[in-house]
Structures are given as C-alpha cells and as structure tokens.
C-alpha cells in the first residue's frame, strides 16, 4: 500500500463519501445533516489554512477574508446574474484566487510576525469594505434575499438532502485535491521551506514564489468553503469575513493537529460538535470553549490527531524494542 499513497487516499475518500451519502437512506436527521453541511465548509476552510500554517509555516490570521469573499461573490453572482450555480461557484473561486494573488503578493515576503498582522489587516480592511459598501453588500445586515433556486443536473439545492449530498461531495473532492497537493513534490518543497528556508533557497527554491503559490491555493480552497457556507446560510454575512472566524479556523487547525493532514478536519468536527452541545446547554459558550482550549493547550500541547499519532508511534517503537530484546 505504501507505494501507492495516491490510490490509498482516493480509496479512503471514496469510502468516506459513500458512508456519508448512504446514511440518510437509513436515518434522516436534520441536525446531523446540518452538521455535515457546516462541517464541509469549515473543513475546507481549516484544511486550506493548514496548507499555510502546518505545511509552510506561514501563520495567516486573515484567512477568513477568502472564506468571506467566496461567500459574498458567489451569493452576489447568483443574485445579480442568471448564471447557473456551478458557473457562479467557479467564478467565486476564481475571484478569490485573484484576490489571494494580490494579497499574497504584498504579504509573502514579510517576516512571520508581520505576515500574521498584515494578513489580519487585509482581512479587516476587506471587512470594513463589506460593512461600508451598503448598496452592494447590505452592510452589517448581511446580504439578504436568499440565493435564487437554480437546479443543477436535476438537483435542487434548497432541499436539505440535496445540499447535504452536494456539500459532502464538494468537500471530499476538495480535501482530496488538497491532500494530493500536500503529498506532491510541491508539498514537500513547502515543508522544506518551513523547516529550513535558507537550505531550501540554496537548493534553488524561489521562496516567495512557492509561498505565494501556497497562499493562492489556500485562498482558493477557502473560497470554495465560503461558497458552501453561502449555500448553507442562503446569503452572506459580514461575520464570515470577521476575525473571530479566522480565529475559529486557527483553533480548529490547532485543536486537530497541524502535522496531520486530517488534523484540521478532526479539529473542525470537535469544534462544531462542541459548539452545538455547549450553545444548547449554556449561554456562556466562551467560558466553556475557553476552558476546553486551555485544557488542550496546556494538557496535550499539540493537536488531538498529532498527539494520538505520536502516542501510537511510541507504542509501536516500544513494542519493536521489546521484540528486539
């Protein structure tokens, strides 16, 4: 199996997708379906962020900008034009890619602290544009009026089941694509830059070009996540592009583990589940979430999946050592 990692990843993705798609045939649960739809958006958002944070060592605080931009441009394209849904989604992702190229061109040459702040500032600039450009975006009320119902291939995405299937397919394909990118030679280059940028530069890697490429790819996939988010809320809201949203993505990445590809997905699953359970039981969501974060940060000091993998590897090493004796 080890020699065909791409085949293995594709198999895992197909099985996961099949399981998700089969579940509603046996049991319909609106809460669960909602959860998967939101998870699809969040998983793309967090995993694309981890291409920067975990793979390349670029901590972006402004990733929410591309999530928000994807959502707004998709929703606006649907409202203002007669284009079909897939075309609008592709246009939205393309627009995010262009925006990421522009923002990245400014940011990627900066040192790591400043990179974090400028990406945050870019996001806040974008956020204030959304708030102040009321005629287009609806200001702080958000973009209302819904997304026009347009069927694709006999699908009507205003039906929850169809949106569930669509989101799951888009998210799994997106994650698979990201997985291929991170497993490719380009992904290895990014990890080399993270570990030792001087050495990478000596080996002929053009640092800014590799970083900019990673930034643009990550932005594009965040935009795709934003499209799903817009479909779920049937519109777009400034909160999608606000900085607590970027904070959530960073937290999902950290919670799940930055060293594992599926870490951000696991983090997003835990975070969303926690969100649902805690908001149902108490109004002090921040208090509970904060304590959980502290417990993870001080207790594990790494993401859940990273911790489990290390624990597993240690167990294996011990077993191996025992056998050798």
Partner 1 sequence: MDLDALGQCLATASCVVTQTTSGLIVGMLLFLVAAGLTLIFGVLKVVNFAHGTFYMLGGYVAFTTLAVTSSYTLAVLAAAAAMALFGVLFERLLIARVYGSNVLMQLLICYAVVLIFDDVVKIVWGPDFHAMGMPPAFQVPPLFIAGGVVPPFYAVLIGIAAMIALALGLGLAMTRLGKTVRAAAINAPMVGVLGINTTLLFAVVFAVGGALAGLAGALAAPVRSLSPGMGFSILIESFIVTVIGGMGSIAGALVAALLVGLLRGFGTIGFPNFTDGMIYAAMILILVFRPQGLFGRRTA
* Binding positions for partner 1, rule: CB under 8 A: 53, 59, 106, 110-111, 113-114, 117-118, 120-122, 124-125, 128-129, 131-132, 243, 247, 250-251, 254, 258, 284-287, 289-291, 293-294, 296-298, 301-302
Nearer to partner 1, 301 or 323 (CB): 301
Nearer to partner 1, 184 or 282 (CB): 282
What the block records as the tokens of 244 is: 């607590």
- Min CB(106)–partner 1 separation in Å: 6
- Min CB(21)–partner 1 separation in Å: 35
User: Under 8 Å CB-to-CB from 17, ≥6 apart: which residues?
Assistant: 168, 169, 172
Nearer to partner 1, 122 or 176 (CB): 122
- Min CB(84)–partner 1 separation in Å: 34
> How far lies 37's CA from each of 158, 170, 190, in Å?
12, 10, 30
Nearer to partner 1, 124 or 163 (CB): 124
- Min CB(271)–partner 1 separation in Å: 12
CB of 221 closer than 8 Å to CB of 60: no
DSSP string for 233-300: HTSB-GGGGSHHHHHHHHHHHHHH-SSSTTHHHHHHHHHHHHHHHHHHH-S-HHHHHHHHHHHHHHHT
Q: Which of 44, 49, 91, 57 is nearest to 72 (CA)?
A: 91
Nearer to partner 1, 174 or 238 (CB): 238
User: Under 8 Å CB-to-CB from 316, ≥6 apart: which residues?
Assistant: none
Nearer to partner 1, 66 or 166 (CB): 66
What distance in Å separates the CA atoms of residue 239 and residue 229, rounded to the nearest whole number? 11
CB of 236 closer than 8 Å to CB of 230: yes
Measure the CA angle with vertex 166, ends 221 and 36; round to 5°.
Answer: 80
- Min CB(311)–partner 1 separation in Å: 18
Nearer to partner 1, 34 or 197 (CB): 197
- Min CB(243)–partner 1 separation in Å: 7
- Min CB(295)–partner 1 separation in Å: 9
User: Under 8 Å CB-to-CB from 38, ≥6 apart: which residues?
Assistant: 229, 232, 272
């Amino acid at each position: 199996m080890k020699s065909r990692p791409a085949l293995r990843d594709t198999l895992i993705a197909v099985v996961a997708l099949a399981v998700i798609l089969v579940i509603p045939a046996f049991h319909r649960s609106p809460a669960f379906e909602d959860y998967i739809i939101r998870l699809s958006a969040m998983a793309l958002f967090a995993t694309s962020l981890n291409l920067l944070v975990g793979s390349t060592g670029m901590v972006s605080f402004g990733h929410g900008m591309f999530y928000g931009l994807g959502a707004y441009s998709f929703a606006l394209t649907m409202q203002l034009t007669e284009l079909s849904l897939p075309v609008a989604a592709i246009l939205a992702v393309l627009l995010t890619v262009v925006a990421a190229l522009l923002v990245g061109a400014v940011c990627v040459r900066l040192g790591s602290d400043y990179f974090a702040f400028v990406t945050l500032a870019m996001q806040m600039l974008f956020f204030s544009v959304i708030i102040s450009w009321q005629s287009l975006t609806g200001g702080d009320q958000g973009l209302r009026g819904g997304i026009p119902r347009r069927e694709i291939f006999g699908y009507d995405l205003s039906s929850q089941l169809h949106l569930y299937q669509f989101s799951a397919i888009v998210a799994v394909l997106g994650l698979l694509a990201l997985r291929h990118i991170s497993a490719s030679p380009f992904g290895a280059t990014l990890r080399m830059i993270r570990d030792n940028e001087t050495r990478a530069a000596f080996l002929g890697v053009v640092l800014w070009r590799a970083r900019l490429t990673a930034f643009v790819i990550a932005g594009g996939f965040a935009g795709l996540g934003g499209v799903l988010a817009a479909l779920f809320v049937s519109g777009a809201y400034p909160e999608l592009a606000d900085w607590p949203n970027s904070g959530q993505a960073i937290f999902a990445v950290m919670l799940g583990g930055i060293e594992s590809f599926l870490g951000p997905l696991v983090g997003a699953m835990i975070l969303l589940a926690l969100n649902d359970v805690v908001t149902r039981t108490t109004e002090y969501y921040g208090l509970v979430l904060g304590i959980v974060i502290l417990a993870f940060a001080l207790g594990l000091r790494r993401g859940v999946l990273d911790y489990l993998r290390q624990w597993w590897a240690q167990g294996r090493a011990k077993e191996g050592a025992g056998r050798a004796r």
